[in-house]
Amino acid sequence: MEELQMLLENFWILREDRENFNKIRDAENKIKPFVEEKLGYRLIINPYIIKLEKVPSDVEEWMRIDAFQTPMDYAFLCLLLAFLEDKGPEDQFVLSNITEYIEAQYDGPDKVDWTLFQHRKSLVRVLNFAVDIGIIKIDDGDHERFSESEDTEVLYENTGISRYFLRSFNREITEDMKIEDFLQEDLNLSNPKDAVIQRRHRVYRKLILSPSVYSEGPDDQDFMYIKNYRNTIAKDLEEYLDAKLHLHKTSAFVLFNDNKYLKSYFPDKNKNISDIMLQVNKIIREMIEDGKLAYNPDDTIDITEAEFINIILKVKERFSDGWYKSYREMSEKQLIEEVIENMESFKMIKRVEELHSIKILPMAAKLIGEYPPDFEKGEGADE
């Protein structure tokens, strides 16, 4: 059901996207049973936006705003949302209104100083995000120039949809609240007998939002739920998302068919890092078959950071003729960090920093790749 795929892959659908807006609105009755009963999500449909309030069951590295780089970026976004609370749709304001408000309200460890490039650049990242997501419009000017000079002025217009950006909570948000408190807030049900409903919501969210779900041991009730209800889950995934459930002894994966709405997926044929990760997995599989790596009882493998770095360097030596020029010429340090960061993001490995080791997870052995014997480097390799 492509309407559900759109909702899962987009923060929201605005009415300006008339075709998809109407398509989802017409399919509301087909979508709701799955999102409400299986995921426990709230579907918001009004004349301005359609939004599926997606709350994860666990916090993961990829659940960040890609364009943001520092905690200050997130603080500035929250202050921008607060600034827009008093603005009506089509109300105009200038950049200096925003900077003055943020400077007065910011309560971070460092005072906001717009003479500092880092602070100005942080706000520019937030403003770009706000424009891209549709909560403000630029009527005149270019806020990119604010990175160069604090005297830059830009005219903005409020779209009126910022009020739907944050979801509502049943209790006051306090400074001592942790991320886990927000997750539990969404799953808490009034009747303790509804624990099975909580588990169902949590399991479906894990499967759909996470690259993989791993068993945490024989007492892991969530993984046991997947095993016990595998047929029902598989049927739901096939019917609503055109996806397949792959269940193994200690892991579960959802593999999607060709889905044009997916924004982040693996392997991505347009990203050379996907090829490199598959090749790393290929070397790992070969080492397992040669008896050079041994499984733990939970199907993970523990190796030192140095051993894993050596695997990456072996991959470079063996396969780099087929890589893009940017990766062929990349420094070893940068290549190693990018491979580790991406593999960790897709839950193929996990860094254990205190032990200076790498835990190889089951997904790394499931997806492997190499170039065919007759492979010749093409022209696109230098892009």
pLDDT in tens, 32-61: 999 999 999 999 999 999 999 988 887 777
Same fold, 64-164 and 272-365: yes
Query: What is the second-level CATH architecture of the domain 272-365?
Result: Orthogonal Bundle (1.10)
With a threshold of 0.75, does the pTM exceed it?
yes
Using the CB atoms, write b or e for 321-333: b if 16+ within 10 Å. ebbbeebbebeee
Instruction: Give me the pLDDT at residue 383, please.
Output: 47
> Residue 36 has what pLDDT?
92
> From CA 219, how far away is CA 203, in angstroms rounded?
15
What tokens does 348 get? Answer: 């193929």
Backbone angles phi, psi at 13, to 5 degrees: -115, 120
Predicted pLDDT at 159: 95
Are the C-beta atoms of 262 and 253 separated by less than 8 Å?
no
Domain boundary assignment for the chain: 2-55+172-256, 64-164, 272-365
Residue range 218-237, pLDDT digits in tens: 899 999 999 999 999 999 99
Helix, strand or coil for residue 156? strand
CA torsion angle for 356, 359, 365, 370 (degrees, to 10)? Answer: -20
Distance CA 340, CA 358 (A): 9
Q: Count CB atoms within 10 A of the CB of residue 19.
A: 7
In order of 30, 213, 288, 302, 362, the CA distances from 295 in angstroms are 44, 18, 8, 8, 10
Those residues of the chain that have pLDDT short of 70 are 170-171, 184-193, 258-265, 374-383
| Sheet of 42-45, strands arranged across | 13-14, 49-53, 42-45
CATH of 64-164, one of 1.10.10, 2.30.110, 1.10.357, 1.20.1270: 1.10.10
